[in-house]
Amino acid sequence: MSADPAVTGQVSRTSRLLLSIAAVAVAFAAADTYVVVLALPDMMTGVGVPIDQLQRAAPIVSGFLLGYVAMLPLIGRIADLRGRVPVLVMALVLFALGSLITTLAYDMPSIVAGRFLQGVGGGGLVPATLALVADLYPVERRGVPLGVVSAVQEIGSVVGPLFGAVVLALADWRAIFAINLAVGLVLAAGVRALSPAADRERRLRRPDIVGLVLLLATLASALVVFLRPSALMRDLTWGRLFIPYAGDGRWWTPIGAITVVALVLLLAWCWFARRPLLDLRGWVRVLLEADLVGALLLALALGGVILAFATADPKIEVFSPRGRWYLLGAAVATAAFTWHVRRAANPLVPRGALRRTPAWGALLVSFFVGAALIAALIDIPLFARTTVYPDDQLPAALVLVRFLLALPVGAVVGGYLIRFLSPGVVTAIGMAMAAAGFVLMTRWGLTTIEEPIANLALITGGLGFGLALAPVNAALLAFTDDDVHGVASAFVVVSRMVGMLIGISALTTIGLRRYYSEQLAIPPVQEVCDGKSKCKAFSDLLRVAGIAQEHAVFWGAAGCAVVAGLLALVVFREVRPTRLAARDVFSGHA
Domain ranges of the chain: 1-205, 356-590
CATH code assigned to 1-205: 1.20.1250.20
Query: Phi-psi bin for 172: left (phi > 0), alpha (psi -120 to 50), beta?
Result: beta
Is-contact 215 269, C-beta < 8 A?
Answer: no
Could you confirm whether domain 356-590 is CATH 1.20.1250.20?
yes
Cα distance between residue 458 and residue 41, in whole Å: 29
pLDDT in tens, the chain (590 residues): 344 555 444 557 777 888 888 888 888 888 887 777 667 778 888 887 776 565 666 778 778 878 888 788 888 888 888 888 888 999 999 999 999 999 998 888 888 899 999 989 988 888 888 888 878 777 777 777 887 887 787 777 667 777 777 887 788 888 888 998 999 999 998 888 877 655 455 555 677 889 899 999 999 999 998 888 888 888 888 888 888 887 777 888 899 999 999 999 999 999 998 888 888 888 888 888 888 898 899 888 888 887 777 666 555 555 667 777 888 998 999 999 999 988 888 888 888 888 899 999 999 999 999 999 988 887 888 788 778 777 666 676 678 888 888 988 898 899 889 888 899 999 999 999 999 999 999 999 888 888 888 899 999 999 999 999 889 988 888 888 888 888 888 888 889 888 887 887 788 777 777 767 766 655 554 454 555 455 655 455 566 777 888 888 899 999 999 999 999 999 999 888 755 433 333 333 33
Rounded to two decimals, the pTM is 0.79
Which candidate, 492, 469, 463, places its Cα nearest to that of 404? 463
The residues, ordered by sequence, that sit 6+ positions from 75 with a Cβ below 8 Å of its Cβ are 87, 91, 120, 123, 124, 127, 128, 486, 490
Cα distance between residue 202 and residue 159, in whole Å: 36
Is-contact 36 164, C-beta < 8 A?
Answer: yes
Is-contact 551 513, C-beta < 8 A?
Answer: no
Cα distance between residue 464 and residue 426, in whole Å: 9
Interior/surface letters 184-200, b for 16+ CB within 10 angstroms, e for the rest: bbebbebbbebbeeeee
Q: How far is CA 530 from the centre of its chain?
A: 50
Cα distance between residue 17 and residue 12, in whole Å: 9
Backbone angles phi, psi at 566, to 5 degrees: -65, -40
